[in-house]
Amino acid sequence: NPLYALISNGHMKESNTGNATLGDVEVETFIGFCEYAYTGAYVTPDCTLSQEAEGRHLGPSVDEGKEPSFNHITCLAQDEPLDAAATIADAPDPWDPWNPPVVRKEDKKKKKKNSRDSEANDGPPLAQITVIYPYKRLWEEFCSLKFWSDPASSSSDPDILFHAKLYVFATKYLIIPLRKQCLKSIHQDLCNFSLNRESTSVILELLNFTYIYTGRGEPGGKSLLRDLVIHYAACEARTLADDENFAILLDSNGEMGSDLAMKLVR
């Protein structure tokens, strides 16, 4: 265990002084590790989502007590009213042999088109195409995933990103049981997470962190955290796509985009 060796090998400075500085580890993450070390399960911190949607304006508002202004509406009118009698008189008589109505080329084309459309409608009915979306199948597969570990203590409003941070810590210091508990906990919270337009930022932040601080490969094989998080993103791709930041995130990380595509087509 690298963390144990850092303190107990007798050759490093940290081992001789009994003190080690982990500059890249947040205090909350290390506290979670200590909770796991002493009790066998860390505590999932709460995360309160902001209820304010900053910068979102659906349109101009009307102040209470004021009548709406219609100054911006422009009405187009003719300078002189039409003379209905003159208009009718100018029209050619279809029964006058000396003044037959003029048939324009456009009218002939319309008649031909209507004739073709009528013939097409008389033909055999077109076969219906059934579109099968992968989202239901992906969600069923996601919910059926098994992680053989006890989850962390639950929370009604869990900080899902905290699980990912602790997973990265456990991966770096080869704490395999803690990694399993992190995966179990994040899977549990994602299954219960209510995703909507106001909460997509939680998943986008999780995706961004995961792909920055993990690689395709980890000790023992592929990155289990990446596989889990991108699987959830594939399940909820249509909801995430409503957030323009999702496209920006995919553009910024080619591995994320390719992993998402492979999840959707497999």
Q: What percent of the chain has pLDDT over 90?
A: 48
Alpha carbon of 18 to those of 5, 33, 153: distances in Å?
12, 18, 31
More confident of the two residues 47 and 90: 47
Lowest pLDDT segment from 111-120, 185-194, 247-256: 111-120
Strand 221-222 versus strand 217-218 pairing type? antiparallel
pLDDT tens digits for range 193-243:
999 999 999 999 999 999 999 999 988 889 999 999 999 999 999 999 999
Between residues 84 and 206, the one the model is more confident about = 206
**What is the mean pLDDT of the segment spanning 121-143?**
76
pLDDT at 65: 43
Between 45 and 62, name the one with better pLDDT: 45
CA distance 176 to 170: 7
For residue 48, give the nearest of 202, 207, 182, 208 by alpha carbon. 202
Q: What is the mean pLDDT of residues 16-43?
A: 83
Closest listed residue to residue 187, CA positions, set 229, 222, 156, 157: 229
pLDDT at position 260 is 97
Q: Tally the residues of the chain.
A: 266
- The beta-carbon contacts of 217-224 under 8 Å, at least 24 apart in sequence, are 218/171, 219/171, 219/174, 224/179, 224/183
Encoding tokens for residue 114?
């209507």
Highest mean pLDDT among 83-87, 93-97, 134-138, 185-189: 185-189
User: Is residue 45 predicted with pLDDT exceeding 60?
Assistant: yes
Query: How much is the pLDDT for 52?
Result: 37
pLDDT bracket for residue 3 (50, 70, 90): low
Burial of 216 (0-12, 13-18, 19+ CB in 10 A): exposed
